[in-house]
Structure 1
């Protein structure tokens, strides 16, 4: 835990350093929001079909959705939002022909109802 989903425009595939972003994202979640490094999971979803603004091909986007167990303060979430936004921009090369829109949303997972399980690797038992 935490779970992150990153949707990004397909035209950014070569410009967006996804492994570097995920590594720095996980570090930020641990340092800013007191997350557990071993539980961080990030999924990248390439979107080749989207309609942004007036539909012109000059737009692209990166949207990050982070789900954390409930209990973090609004201040912690705002701080993490800013760090994540900065990281996304840092890990996306300049694309002069595109206007890239970046956004971040943090949502709570209810501690009372969230359930997870880790299956140990064979030979680790």
Structure 2
């Protein structure tokens, strides 16, 4: 915990500093949600094809990024809101303006009580 997943359009890959974003995000999760630094894990998933509205996806004028944070239950709604707002700010800082419109979103999910992890 936390389990963080970042889904993003391939269009934005050259403009997205993933390493710096992950480091800043982990710091924010520790500060805002009281996570342990060594528990922060982020998986980036690049989507080769994304579509926006009725526009031609081949023109690559839009990029989509969605960040999902899975946390153990117990955080207040205020903490979750602060964290999602911070995620959006960090995206603004770590995605360069590269000629596309960026559609960014973030959400916090409580991990199910059945959540377990394995390390080896």
1:86-118, CA deviations, whole angstroms, 9 ceiling, x for partnerless residues? 0011000012x31110100110003x3211132
User: Secondary structure of 1:13's partner?
Assistant: helix
> Gaps spanning 5+ residues in structure 1: where?
120-125
Is 1:116 the counterpart of 2:86? The answer is no
TM-score (norm 1): 0.89
Cα RMSD, aligned residues only: 1.0
Cα pair 2:50 2:64 within 8 Å, conserved:
no
What number of residue pairs does the alignment pair up?
117
In structure 2, the residue matched to 1:105 is 107
More helix by share: 2
**Bigger Rg over Cα:** 1
Within 5 A, what are the aligned runs for 1:46-125? 46-56=46-56, 57-95=60-98, 97-110=99-112, 112-119=113-120
> Gaps spanning 5+ residues in structure 2: where?
none
